[in-house]
Amino acid sequence: MIMSKKINSALISVYHKDGLEEILHVLNELNVKLLSTGGTQEFIQSLGYECETVEDITGYPPILGGRVKTLHPKIFGGILYRRDNEGDRKLLKAYGIPSIDLVIVDLYPFEETVASGGSEEEIIEKIDIGGISLIRAAAKNYKDVLIVASKQQYRSLLQLLNEKKGDSDLDDRRWFAKEAFAVSSQYDAAIFNYFDKDNFSALRLAVNESKKLRYGENPHQRGVFFGNFDEMFEQLHGKEISYNNLLDIDAAVSLIADFDETSVAILKHNNACGMASRPTVREAWEAALQADPVSAYGGIVITNRTINREAAELINSIFFEVIIAPEYDKEAFEILSQKKNRIILVQKSLSKTASSFQYRSALNGLLMQDKDTKVELADDLKVVTKKVPTAGEIEDLIFANKLVKHTKSNAIVLAKNKQLLASGTGQTSRVDALKQAIEKAKSFNFDLEGAVMASDAFFPFPDCVEIAHNEGISAVIQPGGSIRDNESIAYCDEHDMSMVFTGIRHFKH
């Protein structure tokens, strides 16, 4: 639909004045009459443009320390009147209300004031009243009025002004109105969340970025990612990232974040099928791949160190969908990018505004919880057996415990020398998870003598430690907390095994 309208007048009321210069230049060229609030008017005049103040129209100065400036029928009437309604037009004339065709607003920085630790008083004063009302009024009357609700939209406005020489079509105005409600709803969500603090009495999420995905988990499902992928990653190469890639990338970055030493992990379907910590990426890669070179095919690789040529040559020998690293040597990138579709990502440092919550849908609602950021270190371990683990076993226990935290429950991880030997993932019983891990480790010729076992939750019976002992596993890490803990402890004591409790369960459903 065309319904072109000429912009003859503009009301500009912006908190941040920067970025306005070019727009004022174009509006001036187009002979658009300007009307503005105090600070904005001063800025406009300082650039040499003519501009009336809101005060000239309303006959009122800004009052209550700026709490009331534009809130007046002569302003809102000029925005909200229906151009095709004769009664509205007559009324406007009778009361000497000027018509306003374009509204440009940039709201008081509420979120920034909260983020910078402003006092309650400062924060409350940053709740914009007049600006948000201008946005709502102009967006409601988008059939006649063009609304620019934030400085983020200046570029789109400039493009429109330059392309259509001061005209706008209905579709343009509707698009800007939609963006305006995105701004106002985000603003109100932030205010609500500030007032609600940690009460979680209701959920108001405002995510401005969205990316349509080719499809969801399967090709017959639609999929969208709401979030800002580019804030966390730079994609250097490869095909479009899919829904399942995003889930794997999330699992990979959460896992690697718990490791400080040089480490490489290989993931398939959100679980690690290989992981090792070693002095170099190449060595870590080789040890990680050993755990399951079959599953590794088509998986995702992540490391917390720069990938160099030496490591890239080895990694390149297998097909991977996604590679994530903080950096790539030039030669390494050339090698890895030989495969056209391979997604090569640089992981940037985590955003300070990263959410500390995790969400998922359930029963037509949303579940929200704190992210599991707990990582157990040597001091957190309580030795519950007569035998104390060796220093090497403690390192392996911590390594295995970090891994089991990121493995789908019921989960068991078997590790030795900071290398994942095998894991049992997503089983309906803990014994099944252990049996799966043992069978897998054996199928890739690992010797379980001296290996350690980590469990994401307590052992309800001593069967797991018994099975583990029969395979040569010497040390165990688990949260503890079962009413039959003493049976598992007694078994370990009788069979010269050591066991430590963490006191922290790490279910991942």
Ligand X SMILES: NC(=O)c1ncn([C@@H]2O[C@H](COP(=O)(O)O)[C@@H](O)[C@H]2O)c1NC=O
Task: Give the residue numbers marked as catalytic.
Answer: 140, 269
d(CA 58, CA 335): 68
Touching ligand X, residues 67-126 (CB under 6 A):
67-71, 105-108
For ligand X, which is the closer residue by CB, 13 or 498? 13
From residue 441 to residue 470, the character string flagging contacts with ligand X as x (rule: CB under 6 A) and all else as - is: ------------------------------
Helix/strand/coil percent split, the chain, to 5 = 40, 20, 40
From residue 195 to residue 224, the character string flagging contacts with ligand X as x (rule: CB under 6 A) and all else as - is: ------------------------------
Q: Supply 79's token pair.
A: 């925005």
Touching ligand X, residues 39-68 (CB under 6 A):
39-40, 66-68
Q: Give the nearest distance from C-beta 151 to ligand X in angstroms.
A: 10
Among 7, 10, 13, 477, binds ligand X (CB under 6 A): 13
Task: Calculate the alpha carbon distances from 267 to 29, 247, 416 in Å.
Answer: 58, 11, 19
From residue 322 to residue 361, the character string flagging contacts with ligand X as x (rule: CB under 6 A) and all else as - is: ----------------------------------------
d(CA 28, CA 42): 16
Q: Give the nearest distance from C-beta 61 to ligand X in angstroms.
A: 11
Q: Give the nearest distance from C-beta 237 to ligand X in angstroms.
A: 42
C-beta of residue 244 within 8 angstroms of C-beta of residue 300:
no
For ligand X, which is the closer residue by CB, 131 or 274? 131
Q: Give the nearest distance from C-beta 66 to ligand X in angstroms.
A: 6
For ligand X, which is the closer residue by CB, 27 or 381? 27
Interface stretch with ligand X, choices 37-45, 273-281, 343-351, 479-487 (CB under 6 A): 37-45
Q: Cα-flanking dihedrals φ and ψ of residue 497, to 5°?
A: -105, 155
d(CA 139, CA 133): 10
Q: Supply 479's token pair.
A: 């949260």
Interface stretch with ligand X, choices 31-39, 113-121, 337-345, 364-372 (CB under 6 A): 31-39
The region, left, alpha or beta by phi > 0 then psi within -120 to 50, assigned to residue 481 is left
For ligand X, which is the closer residue by CB, 71 or 203? 71
14: contact with ligand X by CB under 6 A:
yes
Q: Give the nearest distance from C-beta 20 to ligand X in angstroms.
A: 11
Among 8, 9, 15, 88, binds ligand X (CB under 6 A): 15
Site size toward ligand X (CB under 6 A) is 21
Q: Supply 30's token pair.
A: 């187009």
Provide the strand spans (E) within 245-395: 263-268, 271-277, 300-303, 322-325, 343-347, 357-362, 365-370, 382-383
Q: Give the nearest distance from C-beta 21 to ligand X in angstroms.
A: 16
Task: Calculate the alpha carbon distances from 75 to 37, 64, 71, 339 in Å.
Answer: 11, 18, 7, 60
Q: Give the nearest distance from C-beta 191 to ligand X in angstroms.
A: 13
For ligand X, which is the closer residue by CB, 78 or 130? 130
Interface stretch with ligand X, choices 7-15, 136-144, 174-182, 207-215 (CB under 6 A): 7-15
Among 27, 35, 37, 385, binds ligand X (CB under 6 A): 37
Touching ligand X, residues 124-143 (CB under 6 A):
128-131
**In terms of residues, how long is the chain?**
509
For ligand X, which is the closer residue by CB, 131 or 389? 131
Beta bridge partners of 210: 226
d(CA 65, CA 421): 67
For ligand X, which is the closer residue by CB, 132 or 332? 132
Q: Give the nearest distance from C-beta 13 to ligand X in angstroms.
A: 4
Burial label for 440, CB within 10 Å (0-12, 13-18, 19+), is buried
Q: Give start and end residues of each alpha helix (H) in 307-429.
A: 309-315, 330-336, 391-405
For ligand X, which is the closer residue by CB, 69 or 469? 69
Angle 376-382-388 (CA atoms, 0-180°, nearest 5)? Answer: 115
SS (H, E, C) 339-359: CCCCEEEEECCCCCCCCCEEE
Give the binding site for ligand X (CB under 6 A): 13-15, 37-40, 66-71, 105-108, 128-131
